[in-house]
Amino acid sequence: MVKLLALVAVAASVASTSAASCAPESCTAAAQKLLCGSDGVTYTSACELELAQCSHPTLQLASVGACAAQAQTPATPVSPECETVKCGDHANPICASNGVTYQNACDFDRAYCKNKELAPVSYGACETSATVTTRRLRR
């Protein structure tokens, strides 16, 4: 019952997405709580899910917690829209499931556009062994 109430509370919060919440800077202090989107992506906070809804208006909250692992699907061709997204240089690193640190949510979203199996893991740089891997995407 408590989990259902949490899902309803998060859904109500996510449903109230406004234009102001589409600014990536608005997620810097967001409370981290894993949420599964209807696109099968695990978001690290309600704010990150709301930010994704800015570019994908039909995206909805599917469940509280990480999304279940999905079976591998054949690669799909990269959409031209993935290449045209322009991202700012502001830093708010996101560690992704592929072990790559993206500079900000926009850079992550551009990579996700090309690879729908990619998921955010945490805020901050990824740690691989004793080093940090950071990849800047082409603009």
**Is 83 among the domain residues?**
yes
Instruction: Judge whether 26 lies within some domain.
Output: no
- The predicted-structure confidence for 87-133, as pLDDT tens digits, reads as follows 777 788 888 888 888 888 888 888 888 888 888 888 888 876 223 34
| pLDDT score recorded for residue 24 | 55
Residue 115, CA distances (Å) to 60, 122, 137 in order:
19, 18, 13
Residues 83 and 124 in one domain: yes
Q: Which of 19, 9, 20 is nearest to 46 (CA)?
A: 9
Closest alpha carbon to 109 in 69, 64, 59, 34: 59
Q: Which two tokens stand for residue 13?
A: 């919060």
Q: How far is it, in rounded angstroms, from Cα 139 to Cα 137?
A: 6
Range of the domain at 131: 78-139
- The values of phi and psi at residue 43, to 5°, are -100, 145
CA atoms within 13 A on the CB side of 27: 29
pLDDT of residue 5: 42
pLDDT band at 50 (very low <50, low <70, confident <90, very high): confident
Residues 54 and 94 in one domain: no
Total tally of structural domains belonging to the chain: 2
Instruction: Give the sheet arrangement for strand 94-96, strand by strand.
Output: 101-102, 94-96, 120-123
For 60-71, what is the mean pLDDT? 75
pTM (predicted TM-score): 0.40
